[in-house]
Structure formats: structure tokens, C-alpha cells
Structure 1
């Protein structure tokens, strides 16, 4: 798996793409670590270039989702394939990151998720 990074004004975007390298889990973990330390208010993971999400990579995403949720930083998955959707459907809803159809939906989700928190940040 290749992991591309894009720093946007209000989020940190990770784009996952297929690759035959055996280090997918380590690359994803490293990218998520950087994203979580970036100070951005949300992290989006675009899976549109990923045909298969390995179970080990899904575990990494779920682990970071729990960590980031504890810090109130949303981790949102976009363009998730059917096989990955089926894997997530087997897990408790509370332990899974939100899945949205597009990056625009990720932006909307993050904007309206904590409107009061955003208001308090502006007012402070």
C-alpha cells in the first residue's frame, strides 16, 4: 500500500493506493502517527485508489480511530470498497470510524459534527 499525504486547511488527508509492498501496515501506521501529530482538527482517509484493504491495515485504522476519538479528532474514511464495508459491518458500530461517500461529505461531516466546539474555539 502506498500512502500519500495532503495537508488541507482544516484536515490532514491520507490517500491509500494499492502496492505490493509487504510494509503496508507500517506505512499506514507511520502516516497516521504524523497526521495525529499535525494539529489538524480532522483526518480523512481516501480509499478510492485501494482495491483491497488488508485486515492488518484495517486494524491500524481502528486503533488510530480509537486514539483520535479519545482526543475528539475525527478520523473519517472515504470511498471505501465493498469488501472493506463488509468487514466493518461485522464490527460494533461504536468501534468503527465513520464512512462517507466522498471528501466533500467528509468535510461536511467534520464541520457539523461539533458545531458548538467550533463556536467555542472562535469565541475564546
Structure 2
């Protein structure tokens, strides 16, 4: 998995591509740890370049979402494909990160959660 990052003024954006490599989860976990250490008040995951999202990767995202929720740091998924939506539907709704159609919607969501995003 290639994980690109973009440090925005009030959020940390991770852009995911190609979830087929054996090291995908380790790369994503490393990127998420860096995002957490960045001090940004929210983390956005852009899945628009991700052809497939494995269930194990989705579980990793859910674990980080739950950990970040305790710290009141939103983790938001954007541009999720149909197959990923189907995988997400297999998990309890309360434990899943929010899914929004676009990065602009991620910004709106974070603002509604009382996270200052400029």
C-alpha cells in the first residue's frame, strides 16, 4: 500500500492506494501513528485511489478510529468505494468511522464535531 500524506492547516490527510501488498497494514499503521503525533485536530483518510480495501485494513482503521475517538480526534473516511462500503456494513455501526463523500464534507463533519478547522 502506498500512503501519501498531506499536512493541511487543521487536519492530517492520508491518501491510500493499492491495498494488495503484504506490508499494507504495517505501512498504514505507521502513517496513522505519524498522523496522531502531528498534533493536528483531525485525520482524514482519502480512499479515492484505493482499488480494494481488505477487511483486515478496515479493521485496522476501526481500531485507530476508536482509539482516536477517546482522544476526541475525528478520523473520517472519504471517497469510499462500493466494495468498501459493503465491508463496513459488516461491522457494528457504532464502532465504525464516519464516511463522507468528499474532503469538503470531511471538513464540515469535523466542524460539526466542534473541532476547529479553518
Greater percentage in helix? 1
Match of 1:34 in 2: 34
- Secondary structure (helix, strand or coil) at the match of 1:86 reads helix
Structure index of larger Rg: 1
Q: CA deviation at 1:114?
A: 1.6
Runs (4 or more) in structure 1 with deviation over 4 Å come to none
Show structure 1 runs of 5+ residues with no match: 119-124
2:78 counterpart residue number: 78
CA distance in 2, matches of 1:16, 1:4: 7
1:96 Cα deviation from its structure 2 partner: 0.1
TM-score, scaled relative to structure 2: 0.93
SS in 1 for 2:28: helix
- Please report how far the alpha carbon of residue 21 of structure 1 lies from its aligned counterpart in structure 2 after TM superposition: 2.7
Provide TM-score, normalisation by structure 1: 0.89
SS at match of 2:46: strand
Residues 78 and 100 of structure 2 are in contact (CA less than 8 Å); yes or no, is this contact kept in structure 1? Answer: yes
Once the two structures are overlaid, the 10-residue window that deviates more, 31-40 or 106-115, is: 106-115
Q: CA RMSD of the aligned region, Å?
A: 1.2
- Larger RCO: 1 or 2 (CA < 8 Å, sep 6+): 2
Q: Between Structure 1 and Structure 2, how many residues are aligned?
A: 116
